[in-house]
Amino acid sequence: MMTDAPDAIDHDDASRVLDASPRVLMDDDDKPHEECGVFGVWRSTDAAALTALGLHALQHRGQEAAGIVSLDDGGLFHSHKGLGLVGDNFSDAKVMAGLPGRASIGHNRYATTGETALRNVQPLYADFEFGGFAVAHNGNLTNAYALKRALVRRGCLFQSTTDSEVFVHLIAISLYSTVVDRLIDALKQVQGAYSLVALHNGALLGARDPLGVRPLVLGRLPGHAGGGHVLASETCALDIVGAEFVRDIEPGEIVVIDDAGVRSVKPFGRHESRFCIFEYIYFSRPDSVSEGTPVYDTRKRIGAELARESHVSADVVVPVPDSGVPAAMGYAAEAKIPFELGIIRNHYVGRTFIEPTDQIRHLGVKLKHSANKPILAGKRVILVDDSIVRGTTSRKIVEMVRQAGATEVHMRISSPPTTHSCYYGIDTPERSQLMAARHDLEEMARIIGVDSLAFISLDGLYRALGKPGRDAKKPAYCDACFTGEYAIPLTDWQDNSEKQLSLLQPVGT
Ligand code: SF4
């Protein structure tokens, strides 16, 4: 049983898998956005509070909405969800008191706008014949439209426009008897990238897609021999609750955490991992360790590799804060050029929801970044950033650095050119808006206004990750936004139906 009343069903929206309404954009819109973070706790007296802390540590993975579902010892589920940051929704003692129990799951979302927004906030909850079931999902399903069409024909009534609701309906109609078998049945029908946490009366469940595109880690809470486990998108969320890192959930693995301990189910056989390489470049928090590799060190190694590949004489190496900082440190150390904070980021701008006009984007850059003139005046500057998406922010930052008196500006990017959209849970603009899909290097340098521009090569990126280079036959990571080689079929996008395409955007949860 759930204590919250479900939202009303909108039958018009029930035919839509993904909300294609225009997005309201943030002031740092010229970046790809991680779509979601997930967190789950099994057996802790402060389950909901720990979940709120975990979500707070994962705030960088989604800032538009947050939700927690808890399970009390009497088998009742409790829910609180809202638009905004974790702190906006879970700092009130009354709210937290309304989330009792020793198990809970939570979700941060980079959400869509409009009246559908709250309905799409996760975790999603449903009552089944076996009892209550809540699920939270990070990633994006690539056959959600096809599945949803079939499910709607069978009479399923969708209450949200998020692709994650497909999981709920597939579990509902499964003929298997146990919850785990029903989940396996559902997962075998979906395509795409998913890391999910789910909660039912007997267990906390975690699952990763067969290629392990999105991250999920297991941790153990101190002082709990039998239970006391957590699942999280990143290790930084384990650190904040004092949990010890146990291991990454493997690609294609389902973990069942109950009072007997942790059990692993691997229904998909062995697959090669294709973890998202962009997690190392930009998405993950630098203090996280992803797939056994510290993100901060990796970013510094990428910067060093970039310096070896595209050296240029200069007086200072300046990061575009904050995400360019570790790569710039690695670049500066390798190039033996002083590292300086020539651009200062204002951390107190606040999150302004703004319309995506060029004029407002321009203002957004100035609100967030200012030039440190004494560092830049009269200098030859190497600017290091993690990616170029539309190029609008880069252009404004270069202009600002020149106005501060830099005599030369060279831009170095710690990712290869982003030439393709992500369909696996990262919000990137469509290809026509990606600068690197429309222009060659020379044109990009001219548009951005730099004296030279260089991106790290794909092989260089793989070398920074400890590989000899990119194995074209068997790449170790998902790198589709740089190569266009999508390892998971894009079933919904391969249907030529005009109506279908108009409803689909590469949007995840
Ligand atoms: Fe990550 Fe790019 Fe693959 Fe998306 S397409 S999962 S951003 S590497």
At 112-161, the pLDDT tens digits run: 433 447 888 999 999 998 999 999 999 999 999 999 999 999 999 998 88
CA distance 501 to 486: 18
Check: CB of residue 45 under 8 Å from CB of residue 90: no
In this prediction, residue 13 carries a pLDDT of 32
Continuous H helices in 102-227: 144-153, 165-173, 179-189
In this prediction, residue 9 carries a pLDDT of 26
Q: What is the DSSP string of 244-302?
A: EEEEEPPTT-EEEEETTEEEEE-TT------EETHIIIIIS-TT-EETTEEHHHHHHHH
Parallel, antiparallel, or unpaired: how do β-strands 217-220 and 244-248 relate? antiparallel
At 74-117, the pLDDT tens digits run: 999 999 999 999 999 999 999 999 999 999 999 998 854 334 47
Considering the domain architecture, whether residues 335 and 248 belong to the same structural domain is answered as no
Considering the domain architecture, whether residues 103 and 156 belong to the same structural domain is answered as yes
Query: Does a structural domain hold residue 498?
Result: no
Considering the domain architecture, whether residues 394 and 434 belong to the same structural domain is answered as yes
Task: Pull the structure tokens for residue 13.
Answer: 């929206």
Q: Is 276 annotated as a binding residue?
A: yes
Considering the domain architecture, whether residues 334 and 366 belong to the same structural domain is answered as yes
Which of 246, 274, 302 is at the close of a domain? 274
Query: Does a structural domain hold residue 369?
Result: yes
In this prediction, residue 224 carries a pLDDT of 58
d(CA 372, ligand 1 centre) in Å: 34
Please name the residues in contact with 443: beta carbons below 8 A apart, sequence gap of 6 or more: none
Q: Which has the minimum average pLDDT: 340-349, 409-418, 431-440?
A: 340-349
Q: Is 156 annotated as a binding residue?
A: no
Q: What is the DSSP string of 74-126?
A: TS-EEEEEEES-HHHHH--HHHHHTS-SSEEEEEEE----STTTGGGPSSEEE
Annotation says 36 is catalytic = yes
Query: Does a structural domain hold residue 430?
Result: yes
CA distance 490 to 6: 31
Q: How far is CA 366 from CA 123, 351, 393, 397, in A?
A: 36, 14, 10, 8
In this prediction, residue 117 carries a pLDDT of 72
Query: Does a structural domain hold residue 281?
Result: no
Considering the domain architecture, whether residues 261 and 315 belong to the same structural domain is answered as no
Q: Which has the minimum average pLDDT: 259-268, 344-353, 426-435?
A: 344-353
Please name the residues in contact with 455: beta carbons below 8 A apart, sequence gap of 6 or more: 388, 412, 413, 415, 416, 417, 436, 441
Which of 245, 274, 303 is at the close of a domain? 274
Averaged pLDDT for residues 151-175 = 93
Strand order across the beta sheet in which 36-42 lies: 77-83, 65-71, 103-109, 36-42, 229-232, 217-220, 244-248
Considering the domain architecture, whether residues 329 and 416 belong to the same structural domain is answered as yes
- 3-state DSSP assignment of residue 36: strand
In this prediction, residue 246 carries a pLDDT of 97
| Count of all residues that appear for the chain in the document | 509
Which one from 36, 217, 221, 337 is the annotated catalytic residue? 36
Considering the domain architecture, whether residues 307 and 196 belong to the same structural domain is answered as no
Domain containing residue 305 = 290-472
Query: Does a structural domain hold residue 148?
Result: yes
Query: Does a structural domain hold residue 279?
Result: no
Environment class of 276 (CB within 10 Å of its CB; exposed 0-12, middle 13-18, buried 19+): buried
Environment class of 415 (CB within 10 Å of its CB; exposed 0-12, middle 13-18, buried 19+): buried
DSSP 429: -
Query: Does a structural domain hold residue 477?
Result: no
Give the residue, out of 33, 35, 213, 275, with the most ligand 1 atoms within 8 A of its beta carbon, to mutate for a pocket test: 213
Check: CB of residue 14 under 8 Å from CB of residue 502: no
The CATH code of the domain that includes 447 is: 3.40.50.2020
Considering the domain architecture, whether residues 323 and 256 belong to the same structural domain is answered as no
Atom 6 in ligand 1: which residue has the minimum CA distance? Answer: 276
First vs last C-alpha separation in the chain: 25
Considering the domain architecture, whether residues 264 and 294 belong to the same structural domain is answered as no
Please name the residues in contact with 160: beta carbons below 8 A apart, sequence gap of 6 or more: 7, 116, 119, 120, 124
CA distance 106 to 273: 26
DSSP H or E segment with residue 22: none
Query: Does a structural domain hold residue 448?
Result: yes
Q: How far is CA 81 from CA 75, 78, 122, 345, 442, in A?
A: 20, 10, 7, 31, 47
- 3-state DSSP assignment of residue 327: helix
Atom 1 in ligand 1: which residue has the minimum CA distance? Answer: 276
Dihedrals phi, psi of 105, to nearest 5 degrees: -130, 155
Name which of 237, 224, 229, 223 is nearest 205 in CA terms: 229
In this prediction, residue 429 carries a pLDDT of 83
Give the residue, out of 61, 214, 422, 428, with the most ligand 1 atoms within 8 A of its beta carbon, to mutate for a pocket test: 422
Name which of 312, 356, 315, 308 is nearest 334 in CA terms: 308
Confidence of residue 364 (pLDDT cuts 50, 70, 90): low
pLDDT at 351 over 70: no
CA distance 246 to 71: 24
CA distance 108 to 147: 25
CA distance 380 to 403: 13
Considering the domain architecture, whether residues 326 and 389 belong to the same structural domain is answered as yes
Number of domains in the chain: 2
The CATH code of the domain that includes 171 is: 3.60.20.10
pLDDT at 301 over 50: yes
Considering the domain architecture, whether residues 309 and 457 belong to the same structural domain is answered as yes
At 455-499, the pLDDT tens digits run: 999 999 999 999 999 999 999 999 999 999 999 999 988 865 544
Q: How far is CA 47 from CA 61, 235, 278, 338, 424, in A?
A: 21, 17, 31, 46, 29
d(CA 118, ligand 1 centre) in Å: 27
CA distance 188 to 173: 14
Environment class of 357 (CB within 10 Å of its CB; exposed 0-12, middle 13-18, buried 19+): exposed
Q: Which has the minimum average pLDDT: 251-255, 379-383, 424-428?
A: 424-428
At 199-243, the pLDDT tens digits run: 999 999 999 999 999 999 999 998 755 559 999 999 999 999 999
Considering the domain architecture, whether residues 391 and 313 belong to the same structural domain is answered as yes
Q: Which has the minimum average pLDDT: 49-58, 109-118, 308-317, 392-401?
A: 109-118
Give the residue, out of 61, 295, 414, 426, with the most ligand 1 atoms within 8 A of its beta carbon, to mutate for a pocket test: 426
Q: Show the ligand 1 pocket: residues with CB < 6 angstroms.
A: 213, 276-278, 422, 424, 426, 478-481
Buried b (16+ CB within 10 A) or exposed e, 446-455: ebbbbbbbbb
Q: How far is CA 265 from CA 181, 256, 274, in A?
A: 10, 8, 20
DSSP H or E segment with residue 499: helix 498-503
Which of 274, 302, 335 is at the close of a domain? 274
- 3-state DSSP assignment of residue 439: coil
